[in-house]
Amino acid sequence: MIVCVCNRITEGEVREAALEGASTPEKAYACLGCEVQCGCCLDYAQEVIDEARGVVRSQPTIVPLARRPVLFAIARALGVAWPGDVSRDALVAEAFGAKRADESHRARLRVEIARLRRVLRQVASISATAQGFAIHPRGARDIVVLARTIDAAHPAVLALLADGESWSSSALALALGSSQRNVQRALESLAAAGTVQSLGRGRSRRWMTPTVPGFATTLLLPAPLPID
């Protein structure tokens, strides 16, 4: 997806700059050899950077958790559930990938929760509940979780194909601001995983997500009937 129209900077390029250390749009654009132009893209670019860096932010405090994936997974789960709580079993599954939580997992969870409390002490508190844990922001009314819409390989391509329509690789490349070769590689990778499928050959080849059996790809509705 295009983040900056003026400089033709894509979401992937901003994310790569963030992973290299850029913490603001200005620094990310500088890494890409560009400068901020109209400024309309700054908020969106900052969201992409924060998501890529695994950041917990409460202005002016920033807590980076990119190198602490377990803590970030727990913080993200608590943020999504806010103002509710998250059960201990759900946190174990989110943080450690365990299908069934045993006593060792619960003990490890208590340790990680204690660590998370320490690193987030300036922006939020974490309390134990009857079922699990809940997060409480300090001096903020809402919690917003910024994450990829699709947590899978090549999410931008999948997001465009999610409308159920067929796309050519050139149209996808234009919409994503990427090269057609890169898009073609992404499509072939997704096709090998069974996530997308192609129709036709050569220049008439089109890509789409697999249809649900028994349902048409496009729903046609009759024109509204006149009301007397």
pLDDT of 109 reads: 94
| Residue 99: domain span | 69-137
Domain-embedded: residue 144: no
Q: Over the stretch 97-130, which tens digit does the pLDDT of each residue have?
A: 887 888 999 999 999 999 999 999 989 999 999 9
- The residues, ordered by sequence, that sit 6+ positions from 5 with a Cβ below 8 Å of its Cβ are 40, 41
Residues 77 and 28 reside in one and the same domain: no
Write phi, then psi, for 108 (nearest 5 degrees): -65, -35
Is 132 found in the same domain as 83?
Answer: yes
The pairs formed by 87-91 with CB atoms below 8 angstroms and a separation of 24 or more are: 87/131, 87/132, 88/131, 88/132, 88/133, 89/132, 90/132, 91/132, 91/133
CATH no. for residue 13? 1.10.10.1100
Q: Is residue 143 part of a domain?
A: no
Asked whether residue 82 falls in the same domain as residue 132, the answer is yes
pLDDT mean over 143-161: 71
Element (H, E) at 64: strand 61-64
Where does the pLDDT of residue 222 fall: very low under 50, low under 70, confident under 90, or very high at 90 and above?
Answer: low
* CATH number where 98 lies: 1.10.10.10
Of 216 and 64, which is predicted with more confidence? 64
Q: Report the number of distinct structural domains present in the chain.
A: 3
Sequence-separated (6 or more) residues with CB below 8 Å from residue 195 = 152, 158, 209, 210
Residues 39 and 87 in one domain: no
Pair (78, 125) in one structural domain: yes
197 and 164 assigned to the same domain: yes
Residue 174 lies in a domain: yes
- What's the pLDDT band for 85 if we cut at 50, 70, 90? very high
The whole model's pTM is what? 0.55
